[in-house]
Structure 1
């Protein structure tokens, strides 16, 4: 297959470099368009008001000064890649993208953008909070999982005309019990804070975000619960916003 890989940790991060190497060894043609620097938690931001810098960083590998979504748009809508792309893999992310995390995740945003263009797309992430396994080893194991099961992941991601992307998560246990399809997505509860400080030169103020490990809630078949039980979770995530029914009896006037 012709595989386009990207991430939000940056093109030189271990997760994407290991993923690309494993996919190549499995016989796939691998293209990479990935951010030139860390773009974590940037969601689906797209750069529209300035030019992006594209640099060749390896055989069929490019870095891009934009966001993960920019990377997918550049890879699919320019002449950078002259062949058609069969599947997009985003990751492997250094950190989980579970439940509510998906809203903010640049990793998931890249997969969403690919699906919007009709390409089967898969996001891959590992949470390193719940175990002590060595990072590169975990990346290697999840990359092997993706390469071994790529036809099945593509089939899932392509259901209903790529109306959803596939979100794969695992915790950094020394071994995994297996793989489970999830029935729901967890709710993440964030206890974040922001510190406001005066700039040293006295010209205004600055803010600094402090994120904490979120608490999770959900059903037993949620992505978080599946990962916590030692399995790789495989979830389908709708691409388009889903309409919410409004409460009857509310009137408006002009």
Structure 2
């Protein structure tokens, strides 16, 4: 039986994580290692200078679960390098995240960051997200994903970023393999005052998804498809590097 490590960034009590576990627990050996609280926007941050508390957690399903007082990437690292060092997972699944991780969102996403850590350990890793206000329930997303999983596990890619739209287009072919698009935000910061009169700022970002051509993850989502985007680690600009080496 394949061993699956479930992680996320919304926290161990998040309904998306529970739905994913329910969809997989009968077919796979599922273990859950997730943050004790909300950790969105942490990217691939690690608790380099902090001690990390880890506690057994009653997940309400026949799975072993740990609550980690750290980042999503801490969860993957601790699971692979410590908690299950002698029972290395065959697959890391991060999610289901409540909110899309599209285009340049992946640079900030804790969901993607936790999966990327699994990828760095040469384990097939998949980040799964559902856009805000989706008409699809977490259970529906989990069941659709679970049915697709054997195909994904048979491919060569070591990491996928999967996003589910607000509503799936009425077609038998609901999936699109995509490239990363570009998402910018109009960050409308607002603030409130604390008891001492200090300003406490918070983000109210509005996404700008214009200019995304057919074949991008953002195009797929807006057209009602499930986007499957294979990712990699390297960011070297190979064309520029080649030109510099010729100087």
Do they superpose with TM above 0.5? yes
After superposition, the Cα gap between the structure-2 partners of 1:227 and 1:205, relative to the gap in structure 1 and judged at 3 Å, is closer
Task: Tell me by how many angstroms 1:46 deviates.
Answer: 0.5
2:203 — aligned with what? Answer: 209
**TM-score, normalised on structure 2?**
0.87
After superposition, the Cα gap between the structure-2 partners of 1:216 and 1:44, relative to the gap in structure 1 and judged at 3 Å, is farther
Root mean square deviation of aligned Cα = 2.3
Distance in 2, Cα, partners of 1:182 & 1:44 = 24
**TM-score, normalised on structure 1?**
0.84
Task: Tell me by how many angstroms 1:149 deviates.
Answer: 2.0
After superposition, the Cα gap between the structure-2 partners of 1:242 and 1:176, relative to the gap in structure 1 and judged at 3 Å, is farther
2:104 — aligned with what? Answer: 100
1:167 — aligned with what? Answer: 161
Q: What do residues 19-53 of structure 1 show as CA deviations (whole Å, max 9, x unaligned)?
A: 0011013x211001011111111111100111111
Distance in 2, Cα, partners of 1:193 & 1:179 = 34
1:181 — aligned with what? Answer: 176
Structure 1, gaps ≥5 residues long: 250-254
After superposition, the Cα gap between the structure-2 partners of 1:170 and 1:31, relative to the gap in structure 1 and judged at 3 Å, is same
After superposition, the Cα gap between the structure-2 partners of 1:141 and 1:242, relative to the gap in structure 1 and judged at 3 Å, is farther
Distance in 2, Cα, partners of 1:179 & 1:238 = 24
Task: Tell me by how many angstroms 1:189 deviates.
Answer: 1.8
Query: Any residues of structure 2 matched to 1:69-218 within 5 Å, and which?
Result: 69-80=73-84, 82-129=86-133, 131=134, 133=135, 138-156=137-155, 158-159=156-157, 162=158, 165-173=159-167, 177=171, 178-195=173-190, 199-202=194-197, 205-218=199-212
Count how many residue pairs are aligned between Structure 1 and Structure 2. 237
What SS does the aligned partner of 1:221 have? coil
Distance in 1, Cα, partners of 2:129 & 2:226 = 10
